[in-house]
Amino acid sequence: MTDHVWLSNAYMDTRIKLFVETDVNAANPENASKAQQLNNNGAPVPAELCPSKIWASEGAADYDQMPAGSMPELFYARGHWIVSEKAAAVLRQFDLGGGALYPLREGVFGKDQKARVAGEFFTWIFGNLKRTFLPDQTANKMPFGVAGLRWNLPWKLKDGDIAVSSAALIGPDVWLDDTLFDAIFLSQPLGDALVAAGLKRAFHLHKARVISVSEGI
């Protein structure tokens, strides 16, 4: 597939939704909820709404007891998407538009909040919205909400299942589409760079077909 962008269906993987607490949620749950809503809508999120510190909740694995480097490269922490330094190093090479990578300045901790987990981590803000999804060219889509207005990804997503218009090739390298639920889109160059860095599985990446206007007629 030569004409493609990438999309991540990481939202659908419950294994990377970690049981954690964050300093922003502990201090002001309304701010945490606002940050989550903005990011889910593809809007910019101010740094002050994002965590500086994350720690394991009761009942979760005690992250500071895990071997160094064993934290996921991408994980979900109480409404915030968190990436490792390895992943951030790739992302920051590209046009994030209204998106951002905010460092967890204090870091990730175990349950007692004393021992810090090795490595640097960042809150990943998507920050951009493009409406390029082509439901008429996507056979395996599933309805979501109001019929014909919004769609869900297939349960078993494969390369080429999702079709987007060539407008996806314009603008920032990361975006959401409010007509396709729980999909994070990445440009071909950014997705290719993540794959080259060995992060394809961590980011749950799949190719989406790019269709020109003439092809869709």
pLDDT digits (tens, 9 = 90+) for 80-90: 999 999 999 99
Contacts of residue 69, Cβ cutoff 8 Å, sequence gap at least 6: 118, 119
More confident call, 94 vs 14: 94
pLDDT digits (tens, 9 = 90+) for 59-86: 777 777 777 768 899 999 999 999 999 9
Residue 2's pLDDT band (cuts 50, 70, 90): low
Q: Which residues pair with 174 in a beta bridge?
A: 186
Specify whether the CB–CB gap between 64 and 117 falls below 8 A: yes
Q: What is the amino acid identity at position 204?
A: H
| Mean per-residue pLDDT of the chain | 91
Place of tokens 């996806």: 168
217 pLDDT above the threshold of 60 = no
pLDDT digits (tens, 9 = 90+) for 132-155: 999 989 887 776 766 667 888 888
173 pLDDT above the threshold of 90 = yes
Q: In the prediction, which pLDDT does 138 show?
A: 86
Q: How far apart, in Å, are the Cα atoms of 166 and each of 118, 160, 189, 197, 215?
A: 41, 15, 15, 26, 10
pLDDT digits (tens, 9 = 90+) for 106-116: 999 988 898 89
For residue 154, give the nearest of 7, 3, 4 by alpha carbon: 7
Tell me, rounded to whole angstroms, the distance of Cα 79 from its chain centroid.
Answer: 11
Q: In the prediction, which pLDDT does 59 show?
A: 72
pLDDT digits (tens, 9 = 90+) for 179-206: 998 899 999 999 999 999 999 999 999 9
